[in-house]
Structure 1
């Protein structure tokens, strides 16, 4: 089992590493630079070439059954699920086969509306303590499910 973190903008890297350490699971923090190597024997920093989807491509090529990816990128989550892995966002919401299609469709719709100028803004609500707690609970639940063979 490996925990992959789409690390460039992930606000829960330290928390994820602590959970992985407790489960004795290796962690791959994947980014295009700018991060320091974590102080954990379980964690490895993977630097990919700069590019819009370089980190996503690396994760999608390496994830497989029994692995988890932390990402807020819905297309990457979809690719992880198709490779047999699990995916969760930084707020603790698991992506699964039942929800990923509608999440992709909504993402595409919002992108189209913003590019057409009919909708302004973007981004989500501010990240808070409750989100951090929900993330920790969601990640722990995923680890337990994988250990139980689900």
Structure 2
């Protein structure tokens, strides 16, 4: 299993959890972003900077992800694309996106986009809570352990 991170939108506390997990397990962790960012020095942690532009990082993650890899993203269309390739998708809030639940998430996203386009203020996501950080860490550990078996 390799871990791919949609790094531009990934919260810093989640990146820290990922860095510690990658160093502990020696799994390959690659952050994909439109701009440079700090990562710890490690043989198995890398940053790949892609050109700026709409969905350039997402396109690169979809290109690179393989079956049973893990993609960290809150981008629902990206999650759908990597699930279609056989990869796993985990949100920074610890929600595992699957073939069974991704369609309903896409439908809700599209509904909210339609509402915003018509002028209705839907607000953004709430700040990442401590319980969501813990949920992410727990789900990440479960997925890593399953992959190592």
Shift of 1:78: 0.5
Q: Give 1:41's aligned residue.
A: 43
RMSD of aligned Cα (Å): 1.2
Shift of 1:37: 3.5
Give distance in 1, aligned partners of 2:34 and 2:90. 21
Q: Give 2:145's aligned residue.
A: 144
Point out where structure 1 has 5 or more consecutive residues left out of the alignment.
none
- Cα offsets for 1:44-68 (capped at 9, x unmatched): 0100000110000000000011210
Give distance in 2, aligned partners of 1:115 and 1:69. 29
Are 1:38 and 1:45, in contact at CA under 8 Å, matched by a contact in 2? no
More helix by share: 2
Shift of 1:72: 0.3
Shift of 1:144: 2.0
Give distance in 2, aligned partners of 1:100 and 1:147. 25
Are 2:112 and 2:122, in contact at CA under 8 Å, matched by a contact in 1? no
Select which of 17, 20, 23 maps to 2:19. 17
Q: Give 2:65's aligned residue.
A: 63
Q: Give 1:3's aligned residue.
A: 3
Query: Runs of 4 or more off by more than 3 Å in structure 1?
Result: none
**Does residue 124 of structure 2 align to residue 123 of structure 1?**
yes
Give distance in 1, aligned partners of 2:50 and 2:33. 6
Q: Give 1:80's aligned residue.
A: 82
Shift of 1:36: 2.2
Deviates more, 1:11-20 or 1:79-88: 11-20
Structure 2 length normalisation: TM-score? 0.93
